[in-house]
Amino acid sequence: MSCSAFSEEQILQFLNYIKLPRSVYGSTPTPALLNELHIRTISCIPYENLSLHYNPAHRIDLDPPTLFTKIVENQRGRGGYCMEVALIYYHVLLGLGFDVYPAPAKARARVDGVPSGDWGGWIHITCIVTFPDGSQYSDDVGFGGDGPTAPLPLLSGRVHENLGAQEVRLIREWLQEQKKRTDERDMYWVYQYRNSEDQPWRSFYAFLEIEFLPKDWAVVNWFTGHNAASLHFDKVLVVLFLIDGEAQPQVVGKRMLVDGTVKENLGGKTSVVVECRTEQQRIAALREYFGIALAEEESEAMHGWRTELDRS
């Protein structure tokens, strides 16, 4: 098993940041602990792509120490998009003794809000965790709004409650585009969701049980952050899950920012909280609704950028 990029003290800092006791360090890795780590992470570390927009370099750096400084040490409420959150989480899991590796996933684009059409290339990441009894889980803390609110066992067809009436599941199947279908190890795990029992299942992303290495993620990160076909190229996105209960937290809602619109879903219908017309309003909304405090140089980096709101 690979060694974590983080020291014991950094792991303890991370646990404190997501409001877990230091005693977790050194305890036996269990599915229950993995579940709590997942819930605490998605409710304390937002899914956000702000470093592609509010950043003088307009790029994402996946270097683990850099991610740790940005998300944990700086204490400014920052998170990251899928690879940022998942890779810092991966190194924390390693440091806590979990048997884990990061696996690549491909997704389908939304059309009128629904994932549709052909499968794209590798643009997402999930962590595969294996326990001594042989059970395995996909632990995805970086998919955003329709992502799983708990680790999902690699059991095809098992349905799980997600947020409100939404249900999710993993199924094992061939993708339509696959031509060579002789080895079952080449079948994908497909993440599906439906917003109620009377709605059809929607296939959103698909992954294989293979490990991607740092240079693989560098390639994925470059496309995701720089290609005009990427969701992140011309959209400002933030998602933070909301929990209830301190001892045994449960996900009860999510708060989202899409460009200039802040929305909230408390397990039912999504409602608009505020519409930001100017950069000043959006920066204030990031602080008020997500606890994200941008540095002055970050705010200034948006000046003249393609996703800038009115500065008047």
**Percentage of the chain lying above the pLDDT 90 cut:** 93
Which pLDDT does position 120 carry in this prediction? Answer: 93
The overall average pLDDT reported for the chain is 96
CA atoms of 136 and 149, how far apart (whole Å): 17
CA atoms of 103 and 86, how far apart (whole Å): 10
List, for residues 260-269, the tens digit of each pLDDT value. Answer: 999 999 988 8
pLDDT at 1 over 60: no
CA atoms of 6 and 129, how far apart (whole Å): 18
DSSP string spanning the chain? -PPPSS-HHHHHHHHHHTT--GGGTTSPP-HHHHHHHHHHHHHHS-EE-GGGTSSTT-S----HHHHHIIIIIT-S---BSHHHHHHHHHHHHHHTT-EEEEEEEEE--EETTEE-SS--SEEEEEEEEE-TTS-EEEE---S-TTS-SS-EES-TT-EEE-STT-EEEEEEE--TT----S-GGGPEEEEEEESSTTS--EEEEEE-S-PPPHHHHHHHHHHHHH-TTSTTSS--EEEEEEEE-SSS-EEEEEEEEETTEEEEESSS--EEEEE--BHHHHHHHHHHHH-----HHHHHHTTT-TT--B--
At 312, the pLDDT band (50, 70, 90 cuts) reads low
pLDDT at 211 over 60: yes
List, for residues 110-145, the tens digit of each pLDDT value. Answer: 998 899 999 999 999 999 999 999 999 999 999 998
pLDDT at 246 over 90: no
DSSP-derived pairing of the beta strands 47-48 and 99-107? unpaired
pLDDT at 4 over 80: yes
| Mean pLDDT computed over 88-108 | 97
Domains of the chain: 8-301 (3.30.2140.20)
| Mean pLDDT computed over 58-66 | 97
At 286, the pLDDT band (50, 70, 90 cuts) reads very high
Which pLDDT does position 284 carry in this prediction? Answer: 98
User: Nearest Cα to 308, choosing from 275, 287, 278?
Assistant: 278
CA atoms of 61 and 229, how far apart (whole Å): 20
Which pLDDT does position 2 carry in this prediction? Answer: 60
Which pLDDT does position 247 carry in this prediction? Answer: 77
pLDDT at 248 over 80: yes
List, for residues 19-61, the tens digit of each pLDDT value. Answer: 999 999 999 999 999 999 999 999 999 999 999 999 999 999 9
List, for residues 140-177, the tens digit of each pLDDT value. Answer: 999 998 999 999 999 999 999 999 999 999 999 999 99
User: Nearest Cα to 299, choosing from 291, 290, 289, 309?
Assistant: 309
pLDDT at 311 over 80: no
**Percentage of the chain lying above the pLDDT 70 cut:** 99
| Mean pLDDT computed over 84-95 | 98
For the whole model, what pTM was predicted? 0.96
Segment among 64-68, 205-209, 228-232 with least mean pLDDT: 228-232
| Mean pLDDT computed over 180-188 | 93
Which pLDDT does position 39 carry in this prediction? Answer: 97
